[in-house]
């Protein structure tokens, strides 16, 4: 009797969409905000598109305690994972925000740690440019349409994260 029940449960879990397994999930325009085990992420591309080609993308990451950072997905071979990487973020005027960054996925993704000033800079910006300081030719530009909604969704999402 237990085996058929377990089979039925495992089949339900297999066909359940990923969004139903997340404690927080919201979409608006090209943005998707979702929670994971330790962070909430807002990605600027439809998830299906990103899963097919995880390049030329921006993720805003919020961890417990309102710690905020970004993950930028460049093109393959764009960064040197062994280098002391610094990510230069431009917000359409004024000086760039220079943040130490770590290559997290081979030679195409840089992630920053907590950058408290990032929240305020994102609120006021319409465009974000990201480039490794070591190679400014590898710049990406992202529109920040609906950034107010995105930051509000990240704030709501952070409420489902485990407390520090």
Residue 96 DSSP code: P
| pLDDT value at 16 more than 50 | no
Percent of the chain with pLDDT over 90: 74
The tens digit of pLDDT for each residue in 96-111 reads: 999 999 999 889 999 9
Give residue limits of the domains in the chain.
23-158
Beta-bridged to residue 141, according to DSSP, are: 129
* Nearest of 6, 123, 7 to residue 60 by alpha carbon: 123
For the whole model, what pTM was predicted?
Answer: 0.84
Class of the CATH-defined domain 23-158:
mainly beta
């Amino acid at each position: 009797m237990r085996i058929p029940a377990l089979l039925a449960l495992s089949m339900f879990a297999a066909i359940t969409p990923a969004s139903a397994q997340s404690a927080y999930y919201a979409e608006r325009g090209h943005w998707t905000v979702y929670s994971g085990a330790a962070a909430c992420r807002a990605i600027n591309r439809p998830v299906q598109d990103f899963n097919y080609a995880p390049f030329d993308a921006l993720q805003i990451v919020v961890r417990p305690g309102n710690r905020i950072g970004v993950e930028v997905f460049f093109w393959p071979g764009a960064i040197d994972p062994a280098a002391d990487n610094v990510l230069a973020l431009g917000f359409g005027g004024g000086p760039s925000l220079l943040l130490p960054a770590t290559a997290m996925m081979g030679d195409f993704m840089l992630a920053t740690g907590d950058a408290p000033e990032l929240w305020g800079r994102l609120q006021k910006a319409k465009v974000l440019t990201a480039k490794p300081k070591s190679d400014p030719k590898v710049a990406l530009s992202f529109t920040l349409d609906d950034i107010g909604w995105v930051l509000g969704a990240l704030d709501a999402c952070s409420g489902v994260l485990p407390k520090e």
